Amino acid sequence: MEFSDDDVKAYVKGNIQRTKTVKFTADKLQTITMKLPKNVILVNVTTGNTSKAGVDVEISGGTQFYLTAKESIIEMMDAIPTDIRINRRGNGLVFTLRHFWNSGKRKRSCRETWKTVF
């Protein structure tokens, strides 16, 4: 089991941030389950399905997908998330979501990290 790219950075298109499309390269019978943070949605390019934010999603070998941040979170924080990353570490993937915004004269940020083991 592997991913087509295990070091993925997101980009901003309009007011939406997303990663590029990644393929889970494995036999169709192999699956992994990812717990998404409350602010992140998985778009399954292979099936055309879009998850809800913050749910467990299961993907099978051969599936192509990308991650995106919910638009309402961007509006709520008055910020555009500027970093979604996927990195392979050991027997899993580490996902990191970061937001940056201005608060008066100070820049603020928050980060949420989660790991999927396979």
pTM listed for this prediction: 0.66
Given a contact cutoff of 8 angstroms between Cβ atoms, the answer to whether 27 and 61 are in contact is: yes
Query: Parallel, antiparallel, or unpaired for β 22-25 and 2-3?
Result: antiparallel
Location of structure tokens 């899993």:
92
- CA within 13 Å, CB half, 77: 21
Number of compact structural domains in the chain? 1
Q: Which two tokens stand for residue 38?
A: 């409350």
pLDDT confidence band for 99 (50 / 70 / 90): low
pLDDT confidence band for 51 (50 / 70 / 90): very high
Per-residue pLDDT of 61-76, as tens digits, reads 999 999 887 554 445 4
Structural domain harbouring 22:
2-117
Task: Specify the pLDDT at position 73.
Answer: 47
Give the C-alpha separation, 100 to 34, whole Å: 25
